[in-house]
Structure 1
């Protein structure tokens, strides 16, 4: 499996590796969104540090954003934090983040270069 999900006290951490597909990305989202814990989490970390090749396109990113924007209506208090240095992934995160801003979704979407910075952000904001 190219991703793992770890439930934490106030949120969830997902790490991807290898070459994730769009289907696997959706599966990872569903694992979080369909969990009873989703309603109370305060953060969702998506760590893409170990992705070796990235083939998710703009259309698929828009699909993911729309799906998550819908979910933001049930839990409005999530920091969605992405970890990556990969320019292709950063480009898609920018598309994703812009859609959240355009639709006035309550989630805060941020990108970090490493897990420590993301965890520091969580520590200082929740």
Structure 2
């Protein structure tokens, strides 16, 4: 399994390593959706800084975006931060975001090339008109 999962009170952080396939992304998603903590999740941070290759074709990207679109009906306030410096990995993540936006996902997406700003952005949660860091 080329990823590590860390649950936090309001979200999840995945750290992916090495070559990552669409099946492994789907496995991480299933892990997230089956866990009752996902009901309260407000963010996901995908740390792909140590990913060396992604094996996602266009069909894989569309399928994962469509599955996440379905989930967005229940988790409509989720923020998703991607962290990558690799051009190929970043291109795949941008394509996923583009398809998710075409599908009118309610999730907010943002890409970063460093982890600290991604965590700061993801954890900045609006609550009753006020901003707070969780």
Tell whether the structures are fold-level matches, with TM greater than 0.5.
yes
**Runs of 4+ in structure 1 over 3 Å off:** 123-126
Distance 2:123 2:4 in 1: 22
For these two proteins, the number of residue pairs brought into alignment is: 126
TM-score normalized by structure 2? 0.87
Distance 1:87 1:70 in 2: 28
Unaligned runs of 5+ in 2: 127-134
Residues 47-62 of structure 1 aligned to structure 2 (within 5 Å): 47-62=47-62
Unaligned runs of 5+ in 1: none
Name the structure 2 match of 1:83.
Answer: 83
Distance 2:2 2:38 in 1: 22
After TM superposition, give the deviation of residue 44 of structure 1 in Å: 0.4
After TM superposition, give the deviation of residue 39 of structure 1 in Å: 1.3
Name the structure 2 match of 1:10.
Answer: 10
Residues 1-126 of structure 1 aligned to structure 2 (within 5 Å): 1-126=1-126
Distance 1:54 1:100 in 2: 18
Distance 1:8 1:124 in 2: 14
After TM superposition, give the deviation of residue 123 of structure 1 in Å: 4.1
